[in-house]
């Protein structure tokens, strides 16, 4: 959830706002003359590597190594050539 606050109000309450943002995770947009100029967001550690960043969020079911069977009878060489040439393979 995003909240908007005037720069003068932010100046007077910045330490309290920083604690609120850290606790709730909600963002605060800071405005000057009604225009957004800055955003206060909670700090989040960046992963050191993309490897493993989705660990625990995905589940593999079935065999992921075997080729998928094609209902039309498979990929023969004529079909491959037609696709390469941009023609209709059927």
What is the structure's pLDDT at 79?
Answer: 78
Cα distance between residue 68 and residue 25, in whole Å:
43
pLDDT in tens, 7-59: 999 999 999 999 999 999 999 999 999 999 999 999 988 777 888 777 888 78
Residue whose tokens read 């079935």:
62
Domains of the chain (ranges, CATH numbers) = 2-40 (3.40.1620)
Give the list of residues 6+ apart from residue 31 with CB closer than 8 angstroms, or none: 4, 5, 6, 7, 37
Give the pTM.
Answer: 0.51
Question: How sure is the predictor about 76, in pLDDT bands with cuts at 50, 70 and 90?
Answer: confident
């Amino acid at each position: 959830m995003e909240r908007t606050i005037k720069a003068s109000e932010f100046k007077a309450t910045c330490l309290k706002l920083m604690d609120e943002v850290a606790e709730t995770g909600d963002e605060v947009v800071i405005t000057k003359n009604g225009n957004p100029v800055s955003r206060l967001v909670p700090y989040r550690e960046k992963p050191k590597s993309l490897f493993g960043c989705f660990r625990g969020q995905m589940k593999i079911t079935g065999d992921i190594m075997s080729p998928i069977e094609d209902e039309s009878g498979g990929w023969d060489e004529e079909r491959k050539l037609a696709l390469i040439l941009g023609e209709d393979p059927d």
